[in-house]
Amino acid sequence: MSTYPHGKLDLLPLDHSAEGSVARNLVVLHVTAGPTAQSATATFKASVAPHRVSAHFCIDRDGTVYQLVDTGRTAWHASQVNARSIAIEHAAIPQKLPVTDAQYAASAALVAWFCAELQIPCDSEHVMGHDRASPQDRHVGCCEPTLSVAKVIGAAQVGGAGASAMAD
């Protein structure tokens, strides 16, 4: 369906996602627990069925956005909501490496773009962290306090256009 215009395409093999079936109305934010986007992409590529994992986007420490899965397809990142969500990973490590300002700016621009594309409100009911979106995964620490969801939403609400210019 869609490719983010300010991202770099680094698509995973098609067997790391599924065809989309229902309309997406949720953005799920994650932290990778690794130091770089490249390390997260390598983990995704190395994952094997039936435990494959993937995400639509991964934002590197410098704010570079990598798109790994077409937003029309279903990635495997938050078991309870995969079919109706898109996933944004942020290269960061709990307790060690919090999300950077460049990542916040890039994340806000991406969230603003996606909410506009899908015509969904940019609020805490449509943008949330993994642990809240899919509690059964018990992925505590993904993503507060390493990544503040409220900070991303606030910046996306006020700075969508400006922030996306910054992402170039």
* Binding residues for Zn ion (CB under 5 A): 30, 130, 139, 142
Q: Alpha-carbon distance 49 to 106, whole Å?
A: 31
Compare residues 16 and 30 and give the one whose CB is closer to Zn ion: 30
At closest approach, how far in Å is the CB of 54 from Zn ion?
Answer: 12
Q: Which lies closer to Zn ion via its Cβ, residue 46 or residue 138?
A: 138
* Least distance between Zn ion and beta carbon 66 (Å): 16
Tell me whether residue 149 or residue 160 sits nearer to Zn ion (CB atom): 149
Least distance from C-beta 143 to Zn ion, angstroms?
7
Task: Give the shortest CB-79-to-Zn ion separation in angstroms.
Answer: 11
Token pair belonging to 31? 């932290």
Angle between the 101-118 and 149-166 helix axes, to the nearest 10 degrees?
Answer: 90
| Nearer to Zn ion among residue 66 and residue 160 (C-beta) | 66
Distance CA 33, CA 97 (A): 9
**Phi/psi at 34 (nearest 5 deg)?**
-145, 165
Cα separation of 159 and 78, whole Å? 27
Instruction: Name the β-bridge partners of 88.
Output: 29, 57
